[in-house]
Amino acid sequence: MNKTKRTPISELGEFGLIDRIAKDIKIRNASTEHGIGDDATVLSYGKKKTIVSTDLLLEGIHFDLVYTPLRHLGYKTAVVNFSDIYAMNAEPKQLLVSIGVSGRFAVEDIDELYAGIKTACEVYGVDLVGGDTSASMTGLTVSATVIGEGEEGKLTYRSGAKPKELICLTGNLGAAYLGLQLLEREKRVFAGNDNVQPQLDGYSYVLGRQLKPEARKDTIQLLKENNIVPTSMIDISDGLSSEVLHICRQSNVGARIYLNKIPIASETFKLAEEMNIDAATAALNGGEDYELLFTLPLSLCEKVKDLGGIDIIGHIEEESKDIYLIAPDGEEIPLKAQGWRL
Amino acid sequence: MNKTKRTPISELGEFGLIDRIAKDIKIRNASTEHGIGDDATVLSYGKKKTIVSTDLLLEGIHFDLVYTPLRHLGYKTAVVNFSDIYAMNAEPKQLLVSIGVSGRFAVEDIDELYAGIKTACEVYGVDLVGGDTSASMTGLTVSATVIGEGEEGKLTYRSGAKPKELICLTGNLGAAYLGLQLLEREKRVFAGNDNVQPQLDGYSYVLGRQLKPEARKDTIQLLKENNIVPTSMIDISDGLSSEVLHICRQSNVGARIYLNKIPIASETFKLAEEMNIDAATAALNGGEDYELLFTLPLSLCEKVKDLGGIDIIGHIEEESKDIYLIAPDGEEIPLKAQGWRL
C-alpha cells in the first residue's frame, strides 16, 4: 500500500471514488458502445460470438497484501480473466471490475489497484467498461468479469479432444507456485524478526510468474496466423492435473502425460531443490501458470513443433484407458484432481 | 441456514460443488450457446445490443444472514441484477454468479442460495451460465454479472433527459428501507433475550420488499406494448435522491420533484410512524426499492397516466435551475446524494 499520501475513501464517498476510477479510461474496441456510468454496459457484436468469464478474488485466499503490491494484484486480476477468454480461442474486449474495500484502504490504494487493471487493459487491448464499488467489513474483495469476441466455428471448448490427438502446452509450469512458496517463506522469516530483509534476489523469474503473470495472447495469435484451431483448450489456473482431467472428463476420453516432457524452468528447478519441494508436483498441482493446454490432431505434429514455444507433453487415449502420468521409468501413475477445499 | 442436514463443503470439494450447482439448469434463451463448464460462456446475439451489469454483495454490508434466508438472498441477488438491465430498457438473458464461502457454510446452504437464484432465473426467463466458486476467510461473498439483450435505438441511458420532460416512477418507495429497519429492530430485541420471538406479523409487505424484491419486467413490457421509449431511465437501488441526481448530472439538466407526489404505501407510512422514521426520508434515501425512474416528453402525459401504476413525480428543468425537492408548502429543498461511505 502507498504510504506517501493516504486520502480516506470516506472523503470521496462512493460516487467520488467511481469518478476517480473512471476518469482516464480510453475506449479501444469498436464493440464497446457505452461504458462506465449507467445501470449497465452496452456492447455491440455483429456476427461474432460473445464470450464471458468471471472470477472472484478474496484477500487471504487468493492474495496476501503483505507481499502483493496492489498494482500487481490489479494487473493479475485482469490478466487471469483474459486468460479464460484466450482459452476459448477468442479475444478479450471488455472488462468489468467490482471491488469491496474495508476502512483500512485509502483512495491511493484503490488508485494503485486500478493502475494495474488499466495497465493490463492497455497491454491486452481491453476496455474497462463497468463494475461495482462497495464497502466491506473485512479486507479486499475483487470480482472481475471479462467479455470477449470469437469466431463461429473457431471457439475451443474443453469437450473437443479425441483419441490419438496430441496434448500440447505453452511455456513452462510450476514457477508461479514456487514464487508463492518463496514469498510465504520470506513472510514467515520477516514476521519473526523486524531486522531481517526478505531475500528475494535472484528469483525474479518465479516471483514475476506469481505476482505479474501474463496470458497467452501470443499463442492465440500464432495459432491464428498458422490457421490452427485446437480441438480442445483450457488455461492452467488450478494446475496441469486438474486441467487434463477437465478436458478428459468433458471430452469423454483418457490421456497419457509424460512426466519428463513437462517443461519446467531452470530457476523453478533450482528453487524447488533449495526449498525441498518436488518440482514435478509443483508443475502438476501448483497452478496459476496461465499457460494454455490444448489438443491437436496427430497430423499437425511437425507443424506445431515448428511454431516454437509449444511442447507436446502427451496424447489423448480412449476413455476406457483412463488418465495416467507416465514416469521416466515407464511407471503409470493415475492422475488426480485438486480444487480448493475448505 | 438449513439445520436439517449439513454436509461439509469439504466433502464435495470445489468440482463437486460446481457439479451440484450446475446439475438441474435448463437453458431458456436461444442466445445462450454454451453455459457452465468451460473457461467461459459463449453467447450469440445477432443484430441485438448486448447489455452487461455486475454487482458485488458482501455479508455484513449488503445482507445479514441472521434474518436473511439464503434462498431469499439468492433470489434478491439475481433480481437486483436483472433490474439494472430493465433500467436500460433491455431484457436480461444470462446470469453468472460467483461465490466465496467460509467453513461455517454447508453444502445445503449453498443449495438454498442457488435455489433462490434458480427460481429468479425461472421467473424472469434468464439462463444461469457460469461463475466461480471459492473458499473465503470470513463470511459469504456473492458476485453476479447479468447479460441482456436490447434493441438498437431503444436503449435508455441516464443521459437522455431534456428540460420540460416528465419524471415518472413505478410502484412506491421506502418500503424496502422500512422492512430493513424492522428486521434490525427485531434482531436487537432478539439478541438481548432468547425468550422473545421476533414480532414480524402484519408487516409482510415491507418485509417482502426488503427480502424478496422484484424487478419491473412488467413495466418494460408495458412500455414496449405501448411503443413508449423513455428518454432516460434508472432503477431505484440507492434511493430516489441519488437516482434523480444521476440522471440530472449525466443529462446536464436540473429537476423539480414534488414531495407530495412521491408514492408511499400505507404499510410503509404506518410502520414509519411507529418507528419514528420520516417516511419521506425513507422514500428519498432508503433505496433497494428497485422501482424504475424514467423521463418522458410532456406530450406523453395523458398516455402514461392511462397505463396505470406509474406516477409523475416531477419534471426536468434547465441545468441552471438546479435540482430541488418541492415541499407541499412550496418550499424548495436542494436534493442531496447518498452513496455508501466507509
Residue pLDDT, tens place only, A286-320? 999 999 999 999 999 999 999 999 999 999 999 99
Query: How much is the pLDDT for B135?
Result: 85
Query: What distance in Å separates the CA atoms of residue A246 and residue B280, rounded to the nearest whole number?
Result: 55
Question: What pLDDT is stored for residue A194 in this prediction?
Answer: 66
Shared domain check, A208 and A109: no
User: Looking at per-residue confidence, does A10 or B91 come out higher?
Assistant: B91
pLDDT of A212-230, one tens digit each? 999 999 999 999 999 999 9
Give the nearest partner residue to B42 out of A101, A155, A337, using CB atoms.
A155
> Cβ–Cβ of A58/B102 closer than 8 Å?
no
Q: Read off the pLDDT band of A341 (50, 70, 90).
A: low
Indicate the range of B38-47, B232-241, B308-317 predicted with least confidence.
Answer: B38-47
Of A38, A54, A158, the CB nearest to B157: A38
Asked if B38's CB is within 8 angstroms of A158's CB, the reply is yes
**Burial of A59 by CB count in 10 Å (0-12 exposed, 13-18 middle, 19+ buried)?**
buried
Is A3 part of a structural domain of the chain?
Answer: no
- Which residues of chain A have a CB within 8 Å of the CB of B235? 39
What is the number of domains present in chain B?
A: 2
* Domain assignment of residue B155, yes or no: no
Question: Are residues A195 and A99 located together in one domain of the fold?
Answer: no
Residues A182 and A309 in one domain: yes
Disruptive mutation site among B33, B99, B145 for chain A (greatest number of A CBs within 10 Å): B145
How much is the pLDDT for B2? 46
B36 has a pLDDT exceeding 70: yes
pLDDT of residue A34: 75
Is residue A175 located within the same domain as residue A268? yes
CB B94 within 8 A of CB B149: no
* B196 pLDDT tier (thresholds 50, 70, 90): low
Give the domain range for residue B31: 9-150
- Per-residue confidence band for A24, with pLDDT thresholds at 50, 70 and 90: confident
Secondary structure class of A144 (helix, strand, coil): strand
Q: Which three cell numbers mark A314?
A: 502427451
**How far is the CA of A144 from the CAs of A15, A55, A243, in angstroms?**
20, 5, 21
Q: Collapsing DSSP states into helix, strand and coil, what is residue B65?
A: coil
Domain co-membership, B66 together with B30: yes
Tell me: the pLDDT tens digits for B113-125? 999 999 999 999 9
Residues 6+ apart with CB under 8 A from B198: B67, B186, B187, B189, B190
By C-alpha distance, the chain A residue nearest B39 is A84
Full strand arrangement of the beta sheet holding B332-334: B232-235, B292-296, B166-170, B310-318, B253-258, B323-326, B332-334
How far apart CA A64 and CA B150 sit, in angstroms, is 41
Asked if B51 and A41 come within 8 Å (Cβ–Cβ), the reply is yes
| Cβ–Cβ below 8 Å for A54 and B98 | yes
Q: What is the number of other CB atoms lying within 10 angstroms of the CB of residue A299?
A: 9
Report d(CA B177, CA B286) in Å as an integer.
5
Which of B150, B183, B198 corresponds to the end of one domain? B150
Query: Between these two residues, A125 and B6, which has the higher pLDDT value?
Result: A125
Q: Summarize the confidence of residues A312-338 as an average pLDDT.
A: 92
Q: Which three cell numbers stand for residue A60?
A: 487471504
Residues of A in contact with B148 (CB under 8 A): 40
Distance CA B177, CA B249 (A): 25
Same domain membership, residue B191 and residue B324: yes
Distance, in Å, from the CA atom of B242 to the CA atom of B226, rounded to the nearest integer, reads 28
Q: List, in sequence order, every residue forming a beta bridge with A100; answer none if it has no partner.
A: A134, A141
One domain for residues A173 and A109: no
Note whether residue A341 is domain-resident.
no
Both B172 and B109 in a single domain? Answer: no
CA atoms of A121 and A131, how far apart (whole Å): 15
Q: Is A71 helix (H, G, I), strand (E, B) or coil?
A: helix
Helix, strand or coil, per DSSP, at residue A240: helix
Decide if A2 is inside a domain.
no
Report, as an integer, the average pLDDT of B145-171: 94
Distance between CA atoms of residues B49 and A44, nearest Å: 5
Predicted local confidence at residue A2, as pLDDT = 46
State the pTM of this model: 0.89
Query: Residues A111, A225: one domain?
Result: no
> Taking chain A, what is the end-to-end CA distance rounded to the nearest angstrom?
29
Contact B8 A134 (CB under 8 A): no
Choose between B207 and A7: higher pLDDT.
B207
- Could you give the ipTM of this predicted complex? 0.86
**Domain match, A110 and A196 both:** no
- Residue from the list B39, B60, B136 with its beta carbon closest to the beta carbon of A58: B136
The position carrying cell 458485488 is B56
Average pLDDT over residues B86-92: 94
Chain A positions touching B51 (Cβ under 8 A) are 40-43
Is residue B270 exposed (0-12), middle (13-18) or buried (19+ Cβ within 10 Å)? middle
Whether the per-residue pLDDT at A323 is higher than 80: the answer is: yes
Q: Residue B248: is it exposed, middle or buried by C-beta count within 10 angstroms (0-12/13-18/19+)? A: buried
- CA-CA distance, A39 to B233, in Å (whole number)? 9
Report chain B residues whose CB lies below 8 A from the CB of A53: 39-41, 130
Indicate yes or no: CB of B44 within 8 angstroms of CB of A33. Answer: no
Averaged pLDDT for residues B29-45: 76
Instruction: Read off the CATH number of the domain in which B140 is found.
Output: 3.30.1330.10
The one-character DSSP state at A252 is: T
Please name which of B249, B259, B273, B270 lies closest in space to residue B332, comparing C-alpha atoms.
B259
Q: Is residue A180 situated within a structural domain?
A: yes
Boundary-marking domain end, from A126, A150, A174: A150
What integer pLDDT is reported at residue B120 of this predicted model?
95
Inspect the interface and report whether the beta carbons of B134 and A39 lie closer than 8 Å.
Answer: no
Reduce the DSSP state of residue A249 to 3 states and report it: helix
- Locate all alpha helices (DSSP H) within chain B, ordered by sequence: 9-22, 70-86, 107-124, 175-192, 204-211, 217-225, 240-251, 266-274, 279-285, 301-307
The reply to whether A110 and A233 lie within a common domain is no
Among A338-342, B62-66, B141-145, B280-284, the minimum mean pLDDT is found in: A338-342
Look at phi and psi of residue A60 and say left if phi exceeds 0, alpha if psi is from -120 to 50, else beta: left
Given A150, A182, A213, which residue is the final one in a domain?
A: A150
Question: CA torsion sign, B87 to B92 to B96 to B101?
Answer: positive
Position B16 pLDDT exceeds 80:
no
Residue A18's CB: how many other CB atoms inside 10 A? 17
**Is B161 a domain residue?**
no
d(CA B11, CA B28): 32
Distance CA B339, CA B342 (A): 10
Yes or no, beta carbons of A100 and B61 under 8 Å apart: yes
Q: Which CATH number is A274's domain given?
A: 3.90.650.10
Nearest CB among A47, A88, A131 relative to B54 is that of A131
Integer Cα distance of B93 and B116 in angstroms: 17
With an 8 Å Cβ cutoff, are A53 and B342 in contact? no
> What pLDDT score was predicted for residue B194?
66
Asked whether A268 and A291 are in contact (CB, 8 A), the reply is no
In a domain, B128, yes or no: yes
A340 occurs within a structural domain? no
Residue B87 sits at φ, ψ, to 5 deg, of -65, -10
Contact by Cβ (8 Å): B129, B95? yes
Gap between the Cα atoms of B288 and B237, Å rounded: 4
Residue B178 and residue B132 share a domain = no
